[in-house]
Structure 1
Amino acid sequence: MTRIAIVGGHGKIARLLIPVLAEAGHQPVALVRNPDHTAELEDLGAEVALLDIEKSGEDDFAKAFDGAGAIVFAAGGGADGNVERKKTVDLGGSLKSIAGAGTAGVRRFVQISAMGVDEPVGDDVEDAWRAYVDAKRDADIALRDSDLDWTIIRPGALTDDAPTGRIQLAERAERSQVPRADVAAVIAAVLDDPRTHGKQWELVSGDTPIADAITAAVR
């Protein structure tokens, strides 16, 4: 059994990931700011620990990661247009997680990013979207520059549709949608797969079963 710390443990993808990890014999540790979420997450199979991404420092992250064998960064600043939270959560939370992982000696790190964030944005985009793209791009750069055993998954437009178990996974993919449940399944699949270390992929729905798509992508 591996303890897997999930930063942003009450997020939509995290709540789908927790039971998948639990069923696979792992112990998910959901790191959340709000203690009111504890019962819900425990019912899904998680152990819950409190971590305020914005107020906590690198040492707090390291303590939260103590005993973990892997970390999943699944946090996001929300869709409310708050520019500052893109910086403090999507970027700042990732940077503190990367640093905390190093201090805690946890090498395996999987980050949920977003499709197309390396591409320039137009002058007409909203400030919040620009901040989101900048934050995700810079967080990915920081993780790639670390010495951790990282994997970066960049999903397309997220939906709450039922999972299909069939995806397209590639360094570059055509813009499309993907159910959050399929993203969670991919995260669970790559966590234990050393072939995926040092890999960054875009992820959308497709025709290939998840295991086969990962095998094709690592060749």
Structure 2
Amino acid sequence: MVGGHGKIAMLLHPILVAAGHQPVALARSEEYRSDLDRVGAQLRLLDIENSQVEDYVAAFAGCDAVVFAAGGGPDGNKDRKKTVDLGGSLASIDAAQRAGVRRFVQISAMGVDEPLPEDTGDVWAAYVEAKRDADTALRDSGLQWTIIRPGALTDEAATGAVTVGDTVDRGEITRADVAALVAAALATDSTIGTQWEAINGDTPIGDAVRGISA
């Protein structure tokens, strides 16, 4: 998992462990090892902004799928949207192809294909463009891809219920429910080749994901 110590990743690892998988967390610091051990994830060191594609290939060794859950963070640095949100995704796609890892799930963001208003700030514009271009690259990659585009993220407790679709009304979704969506997508072949938005709603996650097909 790229961005393996991020908020969504840390919620996803225990779900994967409970399903019988061994999650591999790619993260930049040895300091994260105890946190990752606690949730059952194996740490492999990878600094997104200071690694080459060959480093990603080595980090993906033995993996059956890649989850791209990294983000440049809310620090107002537009350059990190290009180096992390876009650059990290492009390197991950390239490395997955080279490593023979076919399955790839990417966490994107709602509405990034929509035109931006003229008064959009530089940082937000850079974020939207990075996510949009990363999604385009993944769709064109030939991998077995799924792109999940959540609405506004919250840290509330999981609800277990969502609304998903090609487009949905703007709204919020808990990070815990996004993690559950990723796990369900990985386990559901009908989501291969699909891109969908997601917010909290009324449909149980399992039912919502089973209803998605290319």
Shorter chain as denominator, the TM-score bin is over 0.9
Does the alignment pair 1:46 with 2:49?
no
Partner of 2:93: 98
Partner of 2:179: 184
SS state at 1:150 partner: strand
TM-score, length of structure 2 as denominator length: 0.98
Please list every run of 5 or more consecutive structure 1 residues that lacks an aligned counterpart in the other structure.
1-5
The residue type equivalent to 2:180 in the other structure is: A
What is the distance in 2 between the residues matched to 1:38 and 1:99? 26
Q: List per-residue Cα deviations over 1:106-155 (Å, max 9, x = no partner).
A: 00000000000000111212111000000000000000001100000000
Please list every run of 5 or more consecutive structure 2 residues that lacks an aligned counterpart in the other structure.
none
What's the CA shift for 1:194? 1.1
TM-score, length of structure 1 as denominator length: 0.96
Q: Mean alpha-carbon deviation: is it higher for 94-103 or for 187-196?
A: 187-196
Partner of 1:155: 150
Partner of 2:11: 16
2:113 and 2:132 in contact (8 A); partners too: yes
What is the distance in 2 between the residues matched to 1:161 and 1:123? 33
SS state at 1:67 partner: coil
Partner of 1:173: 168
Give % identity: 61
The match for 1:73 among 46, 68, 75 is 68
What is the distance in 2 between the residues matched to 1:217 and 1:23? 23
What's the CA shift for 1:86? 0.2
The residue type equivalent to 2:136 in the other structure is: I
2:67 and 2:104 in contact (8 A); partners too: yes
- Residue correspondence of structure 1 range 79-94 to structure 2 within 5 A: 79-94=74-89
The residue type equivalent to 1:146 in the other structure is: S
The match for 1:142 among 115, 137, 154 is 137
2:108 and 2:131 in contact (8 A); partners too: yes
The match for 2:108 among 110, 113, 119 is 113
The match for 1:212 among 186, 191, 207 is 207
The CA RMSD over aligned residues, in Å, is 0.8
2:188 and 2:210 in contact (8 A); partners too: no
What is the distance in 1 between the residues matched to 2:213 and 2:97? 25
The residue type equivalent to 1:158 in the other structure is: L
How many residue pairs align between the two structures? 214
Q: Mean alpha-carbon deviation: is it higher for 35-44 or for 84-93?
A: 35-44
What's the CA shift for 1:7? 0.1
SS state at 1:21 partner: helix
What is the distance in 1 between the residues matched to 2:166 and 2:19? 27
What is the distance in 1 between the residues matched to 2:170 and 2:85? 21
What's the CA shift for 1:29? 0.5
Q: List per-residue Cα deviations over 1:185-217 (Å, max 9, x = no partner).
A: 010011021111000000101100011111222
SS state at 1:151 partner: strand
What is the distance in 2 between the residues matched to 1:26 and 1:126? 41
What is the distance in 2 between the residues matched to 1:77 and 1:202? 21
Partner of 1:3: none
